[in-house]
């Protein structure tokens, strides 16, 4: 590190990991959630952008964002095709036929590359929908960290029955 950059730093000249005084190092949760927010910038869904990061032992195993399957037209290239379904409590759910959710894409990337994700955690910019939660249960995710809530009332019973922890981690978006 040059002397100009080292001004205001309390590190020794041999410390390669020095950062300016007052700048704090991100904790693991903030780090992984910030990565999820960066990944969501690749999303192609016109209705919302979501990013997901699957992590075990503080190592990123896989990432995903919401969009069309590889090689197929994205909603930002064609019309978004919405279908409606009714939840048992009467609320109407709208989803796009073209879009795969970020969580499913992260799981698919892990499978494609032979990466085991059992007993891993996932960081998602929004809490999972009920369909993604069912898949996260089946692949053995232990904890779901999310930033913004999305219809949590629809997944509370499945969370209780499955034992998966749902933890909100809010970070300022990039």
Q: Could you report the per-residue pLDDT of 21-41, keeping only the tens digit for each? A: 667 889 999 999 999 999 999
Helix, strand, coil fractions of the chain, as percent rounded to 5: 30, 25, 50
pLDDT of residue 52: 98
Predicted confidence at residue 77, as pLDDT, reads 55
Q: What is the mean pLDDT of the chain?
A: 85
Tell me whether residue 103 is one of the annotated catalytic residues: yes
Q: Name the catalytic one among 24, 77, 93, 103.
A: 103
Taking 90 as the threshold, does the pLDDT of residue 84 lie above it? no
pLDDT value of residue 14: 47
**pLDDT above 60: residue 8:** no
When comparing pLDDT for 23 and 121, which is higher? 121
Least confident range of 7-16, 123-132, 163-172: 7-16
Q: Contacts from 144-153 at CB under 8 Å and sequence distance 24+?
A: 145/29, 145/32, 145/33, 145/121, 145/169, 147/33, 147/36, 147/37, 147/171, 150/126, 151/91, 151/127, 152/127, 153/89
At 4 the pLDDT is: 42
Confidence (pLDDT) at 20 = 55
- Specify the pLDDT at position 78: 58
pLDDT at 7 over 60: no
């Amino acid at each position: 590190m040059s002397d100009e950059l080292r001004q205001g730093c309390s590190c020794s000249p041999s410390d390669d990991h020095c950062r300016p005084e007052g700048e704090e190092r991100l904790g693991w949760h903030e780090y992984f959630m910030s990565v999820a927010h960066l990944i969501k910038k690749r999303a192609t869904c016109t209705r919302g952008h979501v990013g997901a990061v699957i992590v075990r032992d503080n190592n990123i195993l896989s990432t995903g964002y919401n969009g069309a399957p590889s090689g197929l037209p994205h909603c930002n290239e064609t019309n978004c095709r919405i279908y409606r379904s009714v939840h048992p409590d009467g609320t109407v759910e709208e989803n796009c036929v073209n879009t795969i959710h970020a969580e499913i894409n992260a799981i698919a990337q892990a499978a494609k590359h032979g990466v085991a994700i059992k007993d891993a955690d996932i960081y998602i910019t929004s809490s999972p929908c009920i369909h993604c939660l069912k898949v996260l249960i089946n692949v053995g995710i232990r904890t779901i960290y999310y930033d913004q809530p999305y219809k949590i009332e629809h997944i509370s019973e499945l969370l209780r029955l499955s034992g998966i922890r749902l933890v909100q981690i809010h970070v300022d978006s990039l």
